[in-house]
Amino acid sequence: MRTSPHPTPEAAPAFNFGAGGWRCEEVPLADLAARYGTPLYCYSRARLLSNYRRLAKAFPAPARICYSVKANPNLSILRELAAAGAGFDVVSEGELWRVLRAGGAASRTVFAGVGKTRSALEAAIDAGLFMLNVESLGELGQILDLAGGVPSGHDALPVALRVNPDVDPGTHRYITTGKRENKFGLERDSFRTALDMLRGARGVHLAGIHAHIGSQVGTTTPYAEAVERLLALVAEAREAGFAPEWVNAGGGFALSYDGTEVPSPAAYAAAILPPLAEAGLKLVLEIGRAIAGDAGALVTRVLYVKEHADRTVWITDAGMNDLLRPSLYGAWHRIWPAHLPESSGAGEISALKPVDVAGPICESSDYFALGRPLPPVHAGDCLAVFDTGAYGMSMASQYNSHPRPAEVLVDGCEVRLIRRRETLEDLVRGEEV
Ligand code: LLP
């Protein structure tokens, strides 16, 4: 049996090549495609949970790992993680609603987001969150207004001030969030003003300081820098008479999409935990990609093989509407025919030829790969687009009026449909004529 070329050590293998071709745990992708149709997202339960457990081991209590719901908000994914002990990181009233609906605890949920509506703030205050992350002075004003009206006897609302540490995470500019020019968090002066606003405020207490510097952060140094800056702000808050207990260092741990080495959870922990422990602070993390990313693959069928302008183009039934990352960020995902072993040592694959893997959408950026060396396939064959468990389905749309894909969760040789394929009726749900 062959496994993924870049398995994470200690983690349960999600995808492997064995009887029936590429499989998710014990189930051939081709069987899943035949049973549930394509495009199809499939997730390995074992991998999802082992990714979470590796993090929980590297960051033991009192540190708290909050799963970032935006990465993959499916109720079944949330339920599995809640049962494993995860907290949650939400950024909208909808995400909070999902968490509660999935049985997640509000008391383990943090709420970030640069544009929280009044109704979201009310829902957050009602729910009894672990921490509400404040992104601007205007938002703090609204929170004070709302929390001031909460009848006394209720616990004060724990808030964290999200600051912008002006640290370069060295990632794609669309997913860089902690540089000064990014819209997120409070600048230093605003931080001071926020402390002034919180002083003597009713119904609210400063529980922590928060920063999220970006996503797919492939080195530990930016975290060490961010923590240093956060500690300076904690010191300032302490001098001003506050006693924040928590530092929320956000998310962003990287996933190796192409086999290049990324830091292990333990390596991130070594950069983040010691300075916090020394300052008597507890850590919160908001991790999405590193929990869900490599637990998922998108299975798509080749509709046509087209020779075009001296190129070979495979037109697949999945497109940027199902998986936006390649079109939006130029992201690289490993793609391989579901029935063929990897090239190394496999005699039957005599020639890899550069192909463009293109979706059906009427946009010139609708490609999963350009000039990618791949073994020949025929129309009707299935491809696996790996490492799409995070920011795959969660960013899918019905663009060009394609119903969104189905999702399945695989547990050994068992398969659970966790979201049915959308129908044409779903396309017009809510519309009026
Ligand atoms: N906390 C906050 C405040 C965030 O904004 C995010 C992600 C996270 C935590 C989780 O980050 P993670 O651990 O998953 O890197 N769609 C992009 C990623 C956008 C991330 C947005 N914020 C992509 O496909 O790469």
- Give the per-residue pLDDT at 153: 57
Does 222 score more than 60 pLDDT? Answer: yes
Q: 3-state SS string over 298-358?
A: EEEEEEEEEEECCEEEEEECCCCCCCCHHHHHCCCCCEEECCCCCCCCCCCCCCCEEEEEE
Closest residue to atom 23 of ligand 1, CA basis: 391
Residue 205: closest CA among 152, 159, 274, 264:
159
Tell me which residue of 124, 112, 113, 108 sits closest to 66, measured CA to CA: 108
- Whether 382 is catalytic is no
Give the pLDDT of residue 164.
Answer: 87
421, two tokens: 């394929």
Nearest-angstrom CA–CA distance, 287 and 181: 23
- Distance (angstroms) between ligand 1 centre and the Cα of 251 equals 7
Cα separation, 262 vs 175, whole angstroms: 17
Atom 19 in ligand 1: residue holding the nearest Cα: 175
Helix (H) / strand (E) element for 419: namely strand 414-419
Lowest model confidence (mean pLDDT) among 24-38, 178-192, 220-234: 178-192
Count the alpha carbons within 13 Å of 50 in the hemisphere toward its beta carbon: 16
Atom of ligand 1 lying closest to residue 391 CA: 24
Distance from residue 216's CA to the centre of ligand 1 (Å): 8
Å from CA of 222 to ligand 1 middle? 16
Ligand 1 pocket: which of 64, 65, 68 to mutate (most atoms <8 Å of CB)?
68
According to DSSP, residue 401 is labeled G
Share of the chain above pLDDT 90, in %: 85
Measured in angstroms, how far is the CA atom of residue 213 from the centroid of ligand 1? 9
Residue to substitute in 59, 64, 69, 70 for testing ligand 1 pocket (most ligand atoms within 8 angstroms of CB): 70
Q: Which atom of ligand 1 is nearest to the CA of 293?
A: 14
Q: Which residues line ligand 1 (CB under 6 A)?
A: 68, 70-71, 89, 112, 175, 177, 212, 215-216, 250-253, 286-290, 325, 329, 390-391, 395
Domains by residue range for the chain, with CATH: 15-44+293-427 (2.40.37.10), 112-287 (3.20.20.10)
What is the tens place of the pLDDT at every residue in 232-271? 999 999 999 999 999 999 999 999 999 999 999 999 999 9
**pLDDT (tens digit per residue) in 279-307:** 999 999 999 999 999 999 999 999 999 99
- Comparing CA positions, the residue from 98, 39, 71 lying closest to residue 421 is 39
**What pLDDT, on a 0 to 100 scale, did the predictor assign at position 1?**
38
pLDDT band at 6 (very low <50, low <70, confident <90, very high): very low
Q: Would you state the pLDDT for residue 174?
A: 81
Which atom belonging to ligand 1 lies closest to the Cα atom of 288?
14
Give per-residue pLDDT as tens, 36-87. 999 999 999 999 999 999 999 999 999 999 999 999 999 999 999 999 999 9
| Residue in 397, 396, 401 with CA at minimum distance from that of residue 385 | 396
Whole-number Å distance, alpha carbon 381 to ligand 1 midpoint, is 33
Q: What is the mean pLDDT of residues 83-96?
A: 97
Ligand 1 atom at minimum distance from 286 CA: 9
pLDDT at 152: 61
State the distance from the centre of ligand 1 to the C-alpha of 68, rounded, in angstroms: 7
What does the pLDDT average to over 99-124?
95
Residue nearest to atom 6 of ligand 1 (CA): 251
Ligand 1 site-directed mutation target among 81, 215, 393, most atoms within 8 Å of CB: 215
Tell me which residue of 300, 219, 257, 385 sits closest to 36, measured CA to CA. 300
Which tens digits make up the pLDDT trace of 322-364? 999 999 999 999 999 999 998 654 555 557 999 999 999 999 9
Distance spanning both ends of the chain, measured CA to CA: 55
